[in-house]
Amino acid sequence: METRPYVPWDMMNAFMIDVFQKYGVPAGDAAICADVLLESDRRGIESHGCNRFKPIYLDRIKNGTLLPVTKLDILKETPTTLVMDANNGMGMVASYRMMEALIDKAKTFGMAGGAICNSTHFGIAGYWTTMAEKAGMIGVCGTNARPSVAPTWGVEPMMGTNPLTFTMPTDEDFPFNFDCATSIVQNGKIEFYERMGEPTPAGLVVTRDGGTMTDSGEILREMRRGNCALLSIGGPGEATGGYKGYGFTTIVEILSAALAGGPFMKELSGRNPDGSNRFYRLGHFFFVINPDFFMGLDVFQKTCGDILRGLRASEKAPGAARIYTAGEKEWEAWQERRDKGVPVGESIRKELVALRDEFDLDYRFPFEG
Amino acid sequence: METRPYVPWDMMNAFMIDVFQKYGVPAGDAAICADVLLESDRRGIESHGCNRFKPIYLDRIKNGTLLPVTKLDILKETPTTLVMDANNGMGMVASYRMMEALIDKAKTFGMAGGAICNSTHFGIAGYWTTMAEKAGMIGVCGTNARPSVAPTWGVEPMMGTNPLTFTMPTDEDFPFNFDCATSIVQNGKIEFYERMGEPTPAGLVVTRDGGTMTDSGEILREMRRGNCALLSIGGPGEATGGYKGYGFTTIVEILSAALAGGPFMKELSGRNPDGSNRFYRLGHFFFVINPDFFMGLDVFQKTCGDILRGLRASEKAPGAARIYTAGEKEWEAWQERRDKGVPVGESIRKELVALRDEFDLDYRFPFEG
């Protein structure tokens, strides 16, 4: 049962657009950014929604590591490809322009690919692949991030949590949407365990001595000191497939940097050697595949839907209520929230009120009574 | 220390080509198939090399589930895409023709994608992506397979071990080559544990009651009866990221079937309801990305190489001798074997001699003294 108060979607959207503009983001760009953040809340992915509005976007604009006006330079363009330099502007704006262009290219040529360098956090990866899916196409994308994941047999945080994301059209009410980090968990999940007073499962984190750690509070402290690292799917070593997850994380690290010739790994720390802030200089990649250039969208949708329905209907483990397919939980979160709004916890409520008061904006939130 | 005798590469290649031809495979096609199988041995991936020559190819030609003459129908072709029906011929021949065509398309258009339906086992997925890499491009491919993997919270074998394979050009002597199943292990690995008298690690297999099993012999027996299933990377449940591996396995299942409109999951069992054999009707997909349509092959190779060198040089866990990157072990296997030949165990030696005698071929293998 949700116990947090809700803010209506329209109100939250208008408010975020107004505040982004107060921070110097042009109106059209502000609308894109607000929609990306709210889409995360619509899907129930609260780690990437309005909880990040202030710390990851507004605070970074303020400290100079994120430029509110996004100047996009086209480094290379062909009928099927596009490479852009985002010049440390809004990663969400750059990604939106990229996907618009790639969808157009894939309408004409069937396939399109793009890469962005010198970017900033682009929100949920699934927003971009869903743009392709809404146009009747398959979307694939990924991004690098500041180093936090160790390679198999390593202990040093080298790569980002590097999502490798696919969204594919189905004949159902919602797409197949696979949108997650290639590490087992992200920081946010360990913060969740800590809040719940729960240990972190063994094998998610590797310490400098090659062991693991399960005390969630201790993990968070040692992560900040660089004394432990996250592991990719499959866990430590090779016996349970850790090298496979490590391979996927590496693929994303390569594609995010090498297609655009941008920086990677330790260069993405966002910190100068003296500890001061600097630009994150992230890289992203995007591919769009048009099923009409294969056997047709309808064939693709039906086959995809049949596979997903078959999986859900297969025999469950005793005690397991359901088998889910990727994107289903996000769809159900939206069904539950669409008429209510975005649930806001205490810290977000405080941020909203403070921002409203700072700029003397004409909003009164429902939770203010 | 290798204790098995070697057969020189040239001799094994000529022998396999001769035998494939005796089984009705045209000469040019036989050369392709022999090279695919031997490439697996060159890389030290012995599960997919000459050990499969007889059981997976020759025996299937004999029992009628694999047609030696590969009739390829083009179902759809555009400047960037190609869909073919392999009509239950040699999957390796169909995949070779596909990659030749896609590489040509990507030379002109920068991106290309293809799908094949009604195919058969195409050997190591990495052979096809390496064709792209040898042409200075990124190769991506995957295939479905007979159902053996259960979804998260499920216990029924529904999907194949579904590799999702990437090969990417580097400035080193060998490419980044990530070629493995999205399940934690394949059957062959459990057979290996059994031969070594070792247990299978917990969490690799799920039983019908939702538990796991570690007795390697028992797993193999129960797998044959359909009483247990493999799990995708991340293992059982959701706490260690099992749903992520399950997502990757599903992505491959979808792309392998939906782009070409072919069958999937239980339809790929190779068995009729009465237990008799039928065509496997596998599906594969392929993508080729040309870095020259982004910032150039040299930029891609250098960045990719720098990332891989950085990973290998990062801090190791105490007791860990090395950090590998994908494709490095395969390259080292080739260095060790290139002048010696392919190592052949006892069962393969028997098969080679029996095939030679059956067709009265003019070969005398070194291990015959």
Task: Calculate Rg over the CA atoms of chain B.
Answer: 21
- Note the pLDDT of residue A253: 98
Nearest CB partner across the interface for B294, out of A245, A260, A324 = A260
- Could you tell me the fold of the domain covering B1-63+339-369? Hypothetical Oxidoreductase Yiak; Chain: A, domain 1 (1.10.1530)
How confident is the prediction for chain B on average, in pLDDT? 96
Calculate helix-pair angle for A27-42, A328-337, nearest 10 degrees.
Answer: 100
CA distance B92 to B110: 24
Instruction: Inform me whether the C-beta atom of residue B159 falls under 8 Å from chain A C-beta atoms.
Output: yes
Residues in chain A with CB shorter than 8 Å from the CB of B309 are none
Distances (CA, A) of A305 to A86, A207, A308, B164, B264: 37, 42, 5, 20, 12
- Note the pLDDT of residue B284: 98
Domain B70-182+231-321 in CATH 3.30.1370.60: yes
Interface-testing mutation among A81, A85, A179, with chain B (most B C-beta atoms within 10 A): A81
CA distance B255 to A266: 34
CA distance B164 to chain A (A): 9
How far is C-alpha B44 from the geometric centre of its chain's CA atoms? 13
pLDDT band for A135, please (50, 70, 90 cuts).
very high
Q: Going by C-beta distance under 8 Å and a sequence separation of 6 or more, which residues neighbour residue B160?
A: B143, B144, B145, B146, B147, B148, B149, B249, B252, B253, B268
Instruction: Inform me whether the C-beta atom of residue A74 falls under 8 Å from chain B C-beta atoms.
Output: no
The answer to whether the CB atoms of B210 and A258 lie below 8 A apart is no
Question: Is residue A1's pLDDT more than 80?
Answer: no
Residues in chain B with CB shorter than 8 Å from the CB of A294 are 76, 81, 83, 113, 115, 259-260
CA distance B180 to B324: 15
CA distance B55 to B65: 12
Share of chain A above pLDDT 70, in %: 100
- Note the pLDDT of residue B340: 96
Q: How many residues does chain A have?
A: 369
User: What is the DSSP code string of A29-89?
Assistant: HHHHHHHHHHHHHHTT-GGGSGGGIIIIIIHHHHHTSS-SS---EEEEE-SSEEEEE-TTS
Instruction: Inform me whether the C-beta atom of residue B305 falls under 8 Å from chain A C-beta atoms.
Output: no
CATH (one of 1.10.1530.10, 3.40.190.10, 3.90.550.10, 1.10.287.3240) for A1-69+339-369? 1.10.1530.10
- Residues of chain B with pLDDT below 70 are 1
Tell me the one-letter amino acid at B273. P
**Which has the closest alpha carbon to A338: A124, A43, A36, A123?**
A43
Q: Going by C-beta distance under 8 Å and a sequence separation of 6 or more, which residues neighbour residue B221?
A: none
CB A76 within 8 A of CB A260: no
Nearest CB partner across the interface for B176, out of A239, A254, A320 = A254
- B185-230 CATH: 3.30.60.50
- Note the pLDDT of residue A168: 98
Shortest CA distance from A204: residue in chain B:
B240
Q: Classify the complex by whether its ipTM is higher than 0.95, answering yes or no.
A: yes
Q: Give the containing element (helix H, strand E) for B250.
A: helix B242-258
Shortest CA distance from B107: residue in chain A:
A80
CB A169 within 8 A of CB A136: yes
**Which has the closest alpha carbon to A353: A5, A1, A3, A2?**
A5
Question: Is residue A192's pLDDT more than 90?
Answer: no
**Domain coordinates of chain A in residue numbers?**
1-69+339-369
Calculate helix-pair angle for B91-109, B27-42, nearest 10 degrees.
Answer: 80
First to last CA, chain A: 21
Shortest CA distance from B113: residue in chain A:
A111
- Note the pLDDT of residue A196: 86
- Note the pLDDT of residue A195: 85
DSSP, res B215: -
- Note the pLDDT of residue B91: 98
Q: A169 in helix, strand or coil?
A: coil
CA distance B19 to B3: 27
Query: Which residue, chain included where needed, has tokens 């999205």?
Result: B182
Tell me the one-letter amino acid at A71. K
Do domains B70-182+231-321 and B185-230 share one topology? The answer is no
Could you tell me how many CB contacts below 8 A there are between chain A and chain B? 287
Question: Is residue A249's pLDDT more than 90?
Answer: yes
The structure tokens listed for B276 are 């008799």
Q: B296 in helix, strand or coil?
A: coil
Q: What digits encode the pLDDT tens for the residues A57-110?
A: 999 999 999 999 999 999 999 999 999 999 999 999 999 999 999 999 999 999
B-facing residues of A in 6-65 (CB < 8 A) are none
